[in-house]
A = this chain, B = another copy of it.
Amino acid sequence: MANIKDVAKKAGVGIATVSRVINNSGYVKSETRLKIEKVIKEINYMPNEIARSMTLQKNNIVAFVLPNSTHLFFGELLYYVEEELFEYGYKVMICNSSEQLEKELVYLDMLKNNRVDALILLTNNDIEKYLDKNLRVISFDRRFEGVPYVASDNYQGGVMAAKKLLELGCKNFMFIGDDAQGDSTPVITEVTKRRIGFREYLHSVGIDNVVNIEYPLGNYMVSTEEVHDMLTGHMDVDGIFTISDAVAWAVIKELEKNGKRVPEDVKVIGFDGGRSFINLGKRITSIGQNPQLIAKAIGESISSFYNKSTVEDKIIPIYFSEGETA
């Protein structure tokens, strides 16, 4: 009967690598994992997967709860998370919450009932009271007491946008975003730091009259009509930083409708990276998030749950994404 040595020999790898694949206990390159799995099948070395999972108390599934996977950046993040976790032997279960807390809780229950091994949580809801630091949850873009998180360096993103608009000669600044720190709702996401970095940097150079527009949290697909109302009375601004490229899109459309030229009259910088492969017009100037690095960090964090007692928080660098709107 075939044993682990036969598998290693036939696949041309070490026993330790085969063991990592079988026990699902660490990172193995996709190509190598697929090769080993193929050999295991070919020579019929197939330990009972379910029995093994039961012993390990693992079923090798990670749930990813996010508001909406058709949001361009979230969709990219999902893609890389699935690709990265596959290398660790995990399959990814997707939950588009559409911002419904109740739906998020269904997946949290699956975690509590051991139907999934870990949960990646991307939410704007008031879910904190249902969390517990003993659960294997990784939060993206949001801090919860005792829950490890991964986020882009949103603060530096705000600083970078402010510096760029100043460098381009802007005088009257505006921030548009859907956070609401210090206001009615108590939900504070990491994303708020985009605004804080932007305003603090401008403050440090003596600029305090930044027009600050906030709209209800979680409203990713803001319409040009809504933006119309936001801009009313502020048509003198010449440097706008928005919380996402989707919002920048609506802002630019609305400015142009009002006879403003972008970037000649008003410069607009978005957030996420300005990627969109069927954009037939200008490319949005943007602060880029790197979904591949974020996915890598999430993969490491989930792996750490099984190897370490503490999982580190991780802040991922942002970058300036050249475009045609600033």
Contacts and interface: CB of A to CB of B under 8 A. Distances in A.
Interface of A: 30, 34, 37-38, 41, 49-50, 61, 63, 68-70, 72, 75-76, 78-79, 82-83, 86, 91-96, 98, 100, 102-103, 106-107, 109-110, 113, 115, 221, 245-246, 248-249, 252-253, 276-284, 325
B280 A252 contact: yes
A308 B91 CA distance: 29
A49 B280 CA distance: 50
A113 B72 contact: no
A79 B91 contact: no
Given A86-B103, A249-B277, A280-B284, A93 B37 contact: no
Interface-central residue, A72, A283, A284, by most chain B CB under 10 Å: A72
A93 B92 contact: yes
What is the oligomeric copy number?
2
Contacts of A61: 61, 93
Given A79-B70, A277-B249, A281-B279, A93 B96 contact: no
A41 B112 CA distance: 13
A284 B279 contact: no
Contacts of A277: 72, 221, 246, 249
Nearest to A101: B34
A82 B102 contact: no
B75 A115 contact: no
Contacts of A110: 91
A282 B278 CA distance: 10
A106 B86 CA distance: 10
Contact of A278 (B41, B72, B107): B72
Contacts of A95: 82, 86, 91
Contacts of A68: 79
16 contacts: A37-B106, A69-B75, A72-B277, A72-B278, A82-B95, A82-B96, A83-B96, A93-B93, A93-B94, A221-B277, A245-B278, A246-B277, A276-B276, A278-B279, A278-B284, A281-B281
